[in-house]
Structure 1
Amino acid sequence: MRRCSYLTRAVWLLSLISLFTDLASEMLYPVMPLYLQSIGFSVFLIGLLEGVAEAVAGLSKGYFGQWSDRLGKRVPFVQWGYGLSALSKPMLAVLATPAWVLLARTVDRLGKGLRTGARDALLSDEATPATKGKVFGFHRSMDTLGAVFGPTVALLWLAARPGQFRPLFLLAFVPGVLAIGITFWLRERPAAPSPRPVLPFWASFGYWRVAPPAYRRVAGALLVFALFNSSDAFLLLLARQRGLSDAAVIGLYILYNAVYVLSAWPLGHLADRLGPRLLLVGGLLAFAAVYGGVALAHGWPAFAALFALYGLYAASTEGVAKAWLSNLCDRADTGAALGTFAGLGSLAALLASLGAGALWQGAGPAWTFGLAAVAALGVSAYLARAPLAPHKESTMP
């Protein structure tokens, strides 16, 4: 039991909240591109929708993250953020017009922006520099476990009721409400408010100017990569375009998340032992292999192998990146640091999704995925050699 002493009450609660929220969201995520195409969305419009929704999250993550630091409060941001995301699910069942779908996705992403910095700061506060990889890895595993259950529910639903997407949006509200209930069990740890003033909404990324150089180097490289890392919806659309059935496409997404669940926590342990740099570089190389491979893939076996490798990429980068960056900033600025990174990443996702949609329609999917693979190789080469502050990096051996 002692070996898992880092799994505190707060870590468990936050992980369960994320599990139920992701269960709700991931019931819909693999279905959304199929549903949007059924109501008349083109590939470019799907990219635009996903990009705008992520931009809303991006503009709010940095702002609410540094607001949380300023107040020394985390839990209210977590409660309201998960509440908005739960509310967005039944909204999608009301109307099938593009404007309404955009509004529902925006409400969902605003909730994500409201909670992300505060939640990640709570997780960081529960860990030491030597256990952050484990804590964030465990949280990502639990979060992604919901992403296994959610698509499984969607798959069973569509097997029994083909083409009936909208009732799923009402069903997804149930686990969202459960997540909200668990947030009321969270308790604040005493925390000193940040002396930094809360910047206006449009200047909420001001932390970047005062961030340590090592933070800017790592975050900057990852943000360059994010400019080429478009929504996973494009991977699902490509599999569908190559002849796979709706059920097979959702099955691929379940496989991806299952691999993610099984590997995120062990890879978090590995990051604490070997250092996060090695894990991130390896993950980016896996991404390059996946995106280079899908441009040529045909048939279920090829796509299954690539989606499994994609799960390893996600497990070795998402939680590990947060753990690394949280060790490259002052504790009082953790919310702003992680919120700023997540926010800028969402803005990069807007450009990535818009660019991917336009490139797909203009030149074909091979260019869309091939360019992303080349970018991942370049960023991995930079991170493998990037100079970092020795005393900061040594906190994670």
Structure 2
Amino acid sequence: MLSAAMLATLRSLPRTVWFIGLISLINDAASDMLYPLIPIYLASVLMAGPRVLGLIEGIAEATASLLKLFSGVVVDRTRRAKPWIVFGYALAGFARPLIAFVTAWPALLCIRFADRIGKGLRSSPRDALLAASVPAAQRGLAFGLHRAMDNAGAIVGPLVAAALLATGMALRDVFLWSLAPAILCLLLATAIREPAHEAAAYKPFDWRLNDMPPVFRRYLVVVALFTLGNSSNMFLLLRARELGVGEAQIPLLWAAISAVATIFSTPLSALSDRFGRRRLLVGGYLAYGIFYIALGSMATDGLWLFALFGFYGLFMAATEGVEKALVADLAPSEQRGTAFGWFNLTAGIMLLPASLVFGWLWQGVASWLAFAFSGACALLAALLMARWVLPRRSGIPDAD
């Protein structure tokens, strides 16, 4: 998938890009040891259903999103990203193993809450540091590489979880094992070298976003619409379990999604540097819509289900890095941290209604209706991205 020219370009990327990617790989390995198991643990041990899952994930992600805006604004003011990155990884890494001691779902909510606070404090500073480390012509490649390494961790984690479960280890003990990669991730985060910057001149914060370009504000509207249909991925694993996939195979299914995203994230995101972000995002949103509608209409599991989940991995590869590269393209350089904060806030805050609506539609009406709703949001977002945010004749170099 990677040409000789792209490999040479990858080798020329700054050390900071590779280092941030390695940290994300290890952190995601720790996180995704547990992520596919939480719906199972919630249902089989804590005796809670889709509505509780939607509540937990929605509240946790919404809280993280508010902190992503806060940390982005602070980074622009202080020009210091490392302290927030280190603290964020530490809080999340030491909170996750505590799931092993949970006996009721409110305690699980508190742990997921702490985990997402850590993510909220580190995400915008990390993205701003990554964007500042490369020229504009390499942003897609840099963010794509970061997402590829992040998704590689999402392969390692579920495989380790599946191996531990196959030995007969209890779910609670698997949660405790996530402490080891969390410690390694924290040690690496403390070794990040951040270039010195002078503090920026004070600029009042504008909640109305009047200090941001109009095209950036339109982009946030589409991100909000798409995220309204982008509920927690845990629902995908719950749907696979409903269709008959065995408990031990659930982590493998999630690992397969991450494998596809890992393989294709770097080349697809790099294509956006040459052919524009619009094409990749429109294609990715369309793929998401098709995936959700198809998954909601399935009646049984089988090879088609695994192929469909692989297709979902293509959506992740075509959008995750490109969405953030577009934020860096559209935002003023002196407000890049704040722009990433707004992007992360918009994408995260909508996860609360997204997960709640999805859970209520599933449990209150039918699973197919919940998946159809998510698919419709994605298809409409693709249309608006193509015709409203970045039309071909928008005058923005990235549009074509």
Q: TM-score, normalised by structure 1?
A: 0.94
* Number of the residue aligned with 2:10: 4
Is the counterpart of residue 187 in structure 1 residue 190 in structure 2? no
* Number of the residue aligned with 1:367: 369
Contact between 1:242 and 1:299, CA under 8 Å: does it hold in 2? Answer: yes
Is the counterpart of residue 138 in structure 1 residue 145 in structure 2? yes
Contact between 1:15 and 1:139, CA under 8 Å: does it hold in 2? Answer: yes
Deviation track 1:91-131 (CA, whole Å, cap 9, x = no partner) reads 21223222221111111000000000000001000111110
**Cα root mean square deviation, aligned:** 1.8
* Number of the residue aligned with 1:211: 212
How far 1:2 sits from its partner (Å)?
4.9
* Number of the residue aligned with 1:242: 243
Change in CA separation of 1:2 and 1:233 when aligned onto 2, cut-off 3 Å: closer
* Number of the residue aligned with 1:202: none
Aligned letter for 2:27?
T
Secondary structure of 1:111's aligned partner: helix
Bigger shift: residues 134-143 or 34-43? 34-43
How far 1:31 sits from its partner (Å)?
0.5
How far 1:318 sits from its partner (Å)?
1.1
Q: Distance in 1 between matches of 2:385 and 2:130?
A: 25
Is the counterpart of residue 378 in structure 1 residue 380 in structure 2? yes
Contact between 2:24 and 2:150, CA under 8 Å: does it hold in 1? Answer: yes
Deviation track 1:157-210 (CA, whole Å, cap 9, x = no partner) reads 111116x111111110111111111112211223343334575xxxxx827342
How far 1:71 sits from its partner (Å)?
0.6
Match of 1:307 among 301, 306, 309: 309
Change in CA separation of 1:149 and 1:129 when aligned onto 2, cut-off 3 Å: same
* Number of the residue aligned with 1:296: 297
Is the counterpart of residue 20 in structure 1 residue 26 in structure 2? yes
Is the counterpart of residue 102 in structure 1 residue 85 in structure 2? no
* Number of the residue aligned with 2:334: 332
* Number of the residue aligned with 2:4: none
How far 1:251 sits from its partner (Å)?
1.8
Change in CA separation of 1:230 and 1:182 when aligned onto 2, cut-off 3 Å: same
* Number of the residue aligned with 1:173: 179
Q: Distance in 2 between matches of 1:75 and 1:115?
A: 9
Bigger shift: residues 116-125 or 384-393? 384-393
Aligned letter for 2:178?
A
Aligned letter for 2:77?
R
Q: Distance in 1 between matches of 2:293 and 2:389?
A: 28
Match of 1:355 among 347, 354, 357: 357
How far 1:253 sits from its partner (Å)?
0.8
Change in CA separation of 1:2 and 1:192 when aligned onto 2, cut-off 3 Å: farther
* Number of the residue aligned with 1:54: 61
Match of 2:323 among 314, 321, 325: 321
* Number of the residue aligned with 1:35: 41
Match of 2:396 among 385, 389, 393: 393
Contact between 1:67 and 1:198, CA under 8 Å: does it hold in 2? Answer: no
Q: Distance in 2 between matches of 1:387 and 1:289?
A: 22
Aligned letter for 1:364?
A
Q: Distance in 2 between matches of 1:245 and 1:97?
A: 24
* Number of the residue aligned with 1:265: 266
Change in CA separation of 1:196 and 1:309 when aligned onto 2, cut-off 3 Å: farther
Q: Distance in 2 between matches of 1:153 and 1:29?
A: 12
Aligned letter for 2:31?
S
Bigger shift: residues 171-180 or 293-302? 293-302
Deviation track 1:240-292 (CA, whole Å, cap 9, x = no partner) reads 01111112222211110000000000111111111010000000111011101
Secondary structure of 2:191's aligned partner: coil
Change in CA separation of 1:167 and 1:392 when aligned onto 2, cut-off 3 Å: farther
Contact between 2:223 and 2:346, CA under 8 Å: does it hold in 1? Answer: no
Deviation track 1:324-373 (CA, whole Å, cap 9, x = no partner) reads 11110111111111111112211100110011111111111100000111
Secondary structure of 1:208's aligned partner: coil
Q: Distance in 1 between matches of 2:390 and 2:226?
A: 19
Unaligned runs of 5+ in 2: 1-6
Structure 1 segments, 4+ long, off by >4 Å, are 196-199, 387-392
* Number of the residue aligned with 2:345: 343
Deviation track 1:4-51 (CA, whole Å, cap 9, x = no partner) reads 355211111111110010000000000110011111111100110011
Q: Distance in 2 between matches of 1:351 and 1:222?
A: 14
Q: Distance in 2 between matches of 1:34 and 1:375?
A: 27
Q: Distance in 1 between matches of 2:208 and 2:197?
A: 19
Secondary structure of 1:189's aligned partner: coil
Aligned letter for 1:346?
G
Change in CA separation of 1:19 and 1:7 when aligned onto 2, cut-off 3 Å: same
Aligned letter for 2:93?
A
| Aligned length, in residue pairs | 391
Is the counterpart of residue 84 in structure 1 residue 84 in structure 2? no
Percentage of pairs with the same residue: 37
Q: Distance in 2 between matches of 1:302 and 1:196?
A: 55
After TM superposition, the structure 1 = structure 2 runs for residues 267-286 of structure 1, keeping only pairs within 5 Å, are 267-286=268-287
Aligned letter for 2:217?
R
Contact between 1:328 and 1:392, CA under 8 Å: does it hold in 2? Answer: no
